[in-house]
């Protein structure tokens, strides 16, 4: 069942989303060669606490950190460690904030130093896929319209969408109904409606879409070792229009 939020609930979630976006902006400034992912995690947790929130991910299903730091072929949920970022890496930062009883969630993929034009295109296509999905968000349309638009755009650019992971509703719980696939058919799935709050998060690979569990037991990587990128926003439908609650 998809929970419909009141205007007051969406206002609180927007406040939490601003905190999350602010923290993510600070993390973005710190991503460079020589930094460890554990350093980024410590910074994320301290900033969230400073701004009055809590980490959504820490302790969720046993996850041991505040931030997810997925590098190169890692898709999502990689645990921060002493791994040092190197020139030419790409890193996806995925972070959630719990604020006044509600969660918000977002992800961005960043270049570490200089990257090739081909890798840059992967990142640009993934970010654009999120924009393409957002354009489909309006009352009366269906979630399948979003899924189809994301898949159609990504595949037209020569990349693949991950099929075993998806976007989701969000609110008092980090993951709520519905599950929002990054592939699908037009006119399928539940109808979008006023008061829905959910996360769109295209995960795109340079090669095949199939995935495998990472060695840390929490993350997922591409099965063929190809690079992956990930972008995510928390969105709300307010007065028949989409509002991004976690915009940088």
Residue 161 lies in a domain: yes
Locate tokens 């206002």: which residue? 11
Residue 140 lies in a domain: yes
CA neighbor of 69 nearest in space, from 109, 26, 18:
109
In a domain, 2, yes or no: no
Q: Residue 182, by phi and psi: left (phi above 0), alpha (psi -120 to 50) or beta?
A: alpha
Whether the bond into 178 is cis, omega within 30 of 0: yes
Q: 67: domain CATH number? A: 3.90.230.10
Domain that holds residue 37: 7-244
Residue 91's H or E segment, with its range, is strand 90-99
Does residue 107 lie in a domain region? yes
Question: pLDDT digit string (tens) for 60-76?
Answer: 999 999 999 999 999 99
- pLDDT (tens digit per residue) in 156-179: 999 999 999 999 999 999 999 999
Model pTM score: 0.97
Backbone phi and psi for residue 183, each to the nearest 5 degrees, phi listed first = -150, 155
Whether 1 is in a domain gets the answer: no
Q: Is residue 99 part of a domain?
A: yes
In the block, residue with structure tokens 């993510």? 24
How many domains are contained in the chain?
1
Q: How many helices (H) and strands (E) does the chain have?
A: 4, 15
């Amino acid at each position: 069942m998809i929970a419909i939020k009141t205007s007051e609930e969406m206002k609180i979630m927007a406040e939490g989303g601003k905190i999350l976006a602010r923290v993510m902006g600070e993390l973005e400034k710190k991503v460079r060669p020589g930094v460890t992912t554990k350093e980024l995690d410590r910074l994320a947790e301290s900033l969230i606490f400073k701004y009055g929130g809590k980490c959504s991910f820490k302790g969720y299903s046993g996850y041991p950190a505040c931030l997810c730091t997925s590098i190169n072929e890692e898709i999502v949920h990689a645990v921060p460690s002493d791994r040092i970022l190197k020139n030419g890496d790409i890193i996806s930062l995925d972070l959630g904030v719990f604020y006044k009883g509600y969660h918000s969630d977002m992800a961005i993929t960043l270049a570490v130093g200089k990257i090739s034009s081909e890798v840059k295109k992967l990142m640009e296509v993934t970010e654009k896929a999120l924009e393409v999905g957002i354009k489909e968000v309006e009352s009366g349309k269906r979630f399948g319209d979003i899924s189809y638009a994301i898949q159609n755009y990504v595949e037209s650019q020569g990349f693949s969408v991950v099929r075993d992971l998806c976007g989701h509703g969000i609110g008092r719980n980090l993951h709520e109904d519905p599950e929002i696939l990054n592939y699908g058919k037009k006119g399928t799935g539940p109808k979008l409606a006023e008061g829905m709050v959910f996360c769109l998060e295209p995960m795109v690979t340079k090669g095949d879409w199939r995935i495998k569990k990472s060695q840390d037991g929490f993350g997922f990587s591409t099965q063929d070792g190809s690079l992956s990128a990930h972008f995510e926003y928390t969105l709300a439908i307010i007065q028949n229009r989409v509002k991004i609650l976690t915009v940088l």
